[in-house]
Amino acid sequence: MWEFRSMSFWRAVFAEFFGTMFFVFFGLGAALRWTTGPHHVMHVAFCFGLAAATLIQSIGHISGGHINPAVTFAYLIGSQMSMFRAVFYWAAQVLGGMAGAAVLYGVTPPNMRGTLALNTLQPGVSLGMATTVEVFLTLQLVICIFAVTDDRRNGRIGSAALAIGFSVTIGHLMGMYYTGAGMNPARSFAPAVLVRNFANHWVYWVGPMIGGAMGALLYDFMLFPRFRGLSERLATLKGSRPPEADNQPDTRGEPIELKTQAL
């Protein structure tokens, strides 16, 4: 429970709420159908991608900048954060997404509010196809995140936040033609609550969570293995306090899971 008593922990939880709220607000706002024509896929994809990059750069040093329950699940599967912290991150992300969608709903004309439900299966796309697409979209996102934030890499690699933003962008450029490109259960759940449309909604939880878990396992055990023992992994999951932390003041906060680098 040492995390619970740490102010930096609560700052991190609030940062996840804040980041997810703005990610949903700007991303879904860009995806509103103001005309009767088709979505401008490039416009929506780049807004989601740039929003992700901006917010990760803004809060990455505070919370890791997950802003996505599937990303948090990936770090949990990779034994890189405690279960306790993950639960609070999930709650903050879901509530933040709902807050962002609620504000957007309030400032949107009544005749446009029904278009907030961006995540819908396109005609001819079966549930199996949709789930597989969501798995692959989130898989590539998580592998990108793990790769560009891996502190074992040598040398500078540019902006991790920007690379992750591009990963979100390419996911939307392809995925919008199939499922609307969920990749993030928090941003899919929030508008579904407001417009009361949960048709096939499980796809947008199951697909990203499986993709996130697969991405973590693939990177940490095959692409660039982390040689850690079972006891060390269990200690991380349980949130055991590092021995050196008992004798040092809490001035810098706990290690964050997702590190970003400036250009």
Integer Cα distance of 237 and 186 in angstroms: 23
Integer Cα distance of 66 and 16 in angstroms: 7
0.75 surpassed by pTM:
yes
Q: Which of 21, 211, 34, 38 is nearest to 135 (CA)?
A: 211
User: What's the CATH number where 89 sits?
Assistant: 1.20.1080.10
Integer Cα distance of 207 and 205 in angstroms: 6
In a domain, 255, yes or no: no
Whether the pLDDT of residue 246 is over 60: the answer is no
How many distinct structural domains can be found in the chain?
1
Q: What average pLDDT does the segment 147-155 reach?
A: 86
In a domain, 262, yes or no: no
In a domain, 123, yes or no: yes
Q: What average pLDDT does the segment 174-178 reach?
A: 94
Q: Which of 81, 105, 140, 92 is nearest to 29 (CA)?
A: 105
In a domain, 263, yes or no: no
Per the structure, the complete domain to which residue 235 belongs is given by: 7-241
Q: Is the dihedral of CA 83, 85, 89, 91 positive or negative?
A: positive
229-238 contact pairs (CB < 8 A, 24+): 232/79, 233/79, 234/79, 236/79, 236/80, 236/81, 236/82, 237/76, 237/79, 237/82, 237/83, 238/82, 238/83
Q: What average pLDDT does the segment 169-188 reach?
A: 95
Q: What is the DSSP letter of 116?
A: G
Please give the pLDDT value at position 151: 87
Contact 154, 132 (CB under 8 A): no
